[in-house]
Amino acid sequence: MAVDPDRPPNLSWKDKLLGGVAVVCDLNRFGPSTGIENKFELLEGDVNTPMIDGIHAIALLDRIKEILFKEMELTVVLKLLTRNIGYNAINNRILNFWKPAKSIHLMDIANGYFLVKFQAFEDYNKALTQGPWIVYGQYLTIQPWTKDFSPSQPYPNVVLAWIRLLSLPGHLYKRKIIEAIG
């Protein structure tokens, strides 16, 4: 059987869906931005994989959990309410909205949720506070990542809401007053 070296290889279904380009997943892209990874060492017993009811589980020591949580400090959770959106579409929209000064890393996770990890606090703060963000006529929910976040929930359990208070005198812009009004 003769093989033509100039003939492009057959594309898999995945490659066709992705536009015929090979996609390389760089797990470090979503990793730490603070350099903690270079100092991070796993010690004997930090990670255990016990069997519970015949299923492997992962048990991490609190020290490891705290390191991992610290790495998520500048991460937000996104979800477009009432519809799902593709990775490229949401990536283009948020880059256009936020125009971050430093790079951001977007990760598509389960149930229509996305994680966005920022390299700069200013970009993180802008994304959280400069909204609301509307994509395809739908409200884009954005919330800080917490260790209690679960992508298995179909909708966020907490939503930041933007309320416009027209003609509110400046002296009333105090946190306690706004909370009492809201």
Q: Are 152 and 170 contacting, i.e. CB atoms less than 8 angstroms apart? A: no
pLDDT of 119 > 90? The answer is: yes
pTM (2 d.p.): 0.65
Average pLDDT over residues 54-77: 90
Q: Is residue 75 part of a domain?
A: yes
What does the pLDDT read at residue 36?
46
Of residues 177 and 144, more confidently modeled: 144
For the chain, how many structural domains are there in total?
A: 1
Segment 12-43, tens digit of pLDDT: 666 655 555 444 444 454 544 444 444 678 88
**Looking at the domain assignment, is residue 4 inside a domain?**
no
Does the CA dihedral 97-87-31-156 come out positive or negative? positive
Does any domain span residue 106? yes
Q: Is 53 exposed, middle or buried (0-12, 13-18, 19+ CB in 10 A)?
A: exposed
CATH code at position 30? 3.30.70.330
**Tokens encoding 88:** 């490229």
Residue-level pLDDT at 161: 66
Q: Is residue 6 part of a domain?
A: no
Structural domain containing residue 65: 13-40+55-181
Q: Are 89 and 122 in contact (CB under 8 A)?
A: no
The answer to the question of residue 46 being in a domain is no
